[in-house]
């Protein structure tokens, strides 16, 4: 049975023998019990990744000393170490435009306990979805954006995110290209749903492109946002079959179901600390 209080350790470092043994010994010697352990090695780049969850009840080391202690332990491997704690709930902001299906789905899943996070804030560049946010009791802010006012309006959004102590941002069909300043402020913390199977069919109308090419599968991709449009590290993807008889409208309807589930999966992986990013790719632990 999982302890009421546990820590999740995420490590990426140069690969080599003894890393798993050293981490297991470290947890044991500090009085912890390992609950989950997973690892992956990229043999081409020589990089090792691991996710380790362990109990904190009776743990001898103070929480703020865990990360530096692991860094010292693995110093020959030049590690990058992150530690997350089960009593710290991530706070997310959802950015939307006019389309409501992803917003509804995220708020419903969060209320049902499927997403272990908080969504105190919905920000939109149109006023269309105010009723959805207010129905769920979430603060709604209409922040209209034009090409000429984008920098200023993103400044307003920054203020809202800081005021609400937001940890990560979800673009639930926001349909705006974020500036590099925004992306740099939240590295690997802005999650987007692209209504296409990246890296194919980038841009604003992937279903139209797919229909034109006569593809037999359409997909959706959840990814972290970078300064390069639709080229950030991919977290989750899924596909559904289509045929010559499907119109663009049919593809859009089928695609929306995919978008909801893929975005929710990407958000779940993020809030459960299951993702490590490297070389514009992700390792996503089960």
Catalytic center residues: 230
Q: Kindly tell me the burial class for residue 74, based on how many C-beta atoms sit within 10 Å of its own C-beta (0-12, 13-18, 19 or more).
A: buried
């Amino acid at each position: 049975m999982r302890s009421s209080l546990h820590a999740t350790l995420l490590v990426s470092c140069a690969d080599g023998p003894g890393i798993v043994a050293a981490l297991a010994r470290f947890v044991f010697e500090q009085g912890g019990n390992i609950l989950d352990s997973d690892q992956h090695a990229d043999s081409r780049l020589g990089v090792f990744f691991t996710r380790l969850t362990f109990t904190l009840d009776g743990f001898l080391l103070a929480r703020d000393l865990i990360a530096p202690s692991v860094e010292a332990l693995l110093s020959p491997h030049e590690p990058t170490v992150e530690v997350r704690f089960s009593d710290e709930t991530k706070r997310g902001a959802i950015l939307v435009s006019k389309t409501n299906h992803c917003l509804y789905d995220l708020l419903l899943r969060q209320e049902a306990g499927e997403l272990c996070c908080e969504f105190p804030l919905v920000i939109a560049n149109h006023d269309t979805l105010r009723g959805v946010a207010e129905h769920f009791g979430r603060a709604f802010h209409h922040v209209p954006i034009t090409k000429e006012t984008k920098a200023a309006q993103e400044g307003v959004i920054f203020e809202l995110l800081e005021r609400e102590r937001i940890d990560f941002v979800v673009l639930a069909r926001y349909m705006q290209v974020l500036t590099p300043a925004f992306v740099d402020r939240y590295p690997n913390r802005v999650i987007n749903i692209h209504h296409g199977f990246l890296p194919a069919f980038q841009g604003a109308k992937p279903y139209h492109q797919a229909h034109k090419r006569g593809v037999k599968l359409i997909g959706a991709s959840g990814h972290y946002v970078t300064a390069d449009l639709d080229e950030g590290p991919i977290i989750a993807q899924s596909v559904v079959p289509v045929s010559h008889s499907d119109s663009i409208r049919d593809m859009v309807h089928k695609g929306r179901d995919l978008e909801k589930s893929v975005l929710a999966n990407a958000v779940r992986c993020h809030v459960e600390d299951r993702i490590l990013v490297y070389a514009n790719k992700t390792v996503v632990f089960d």
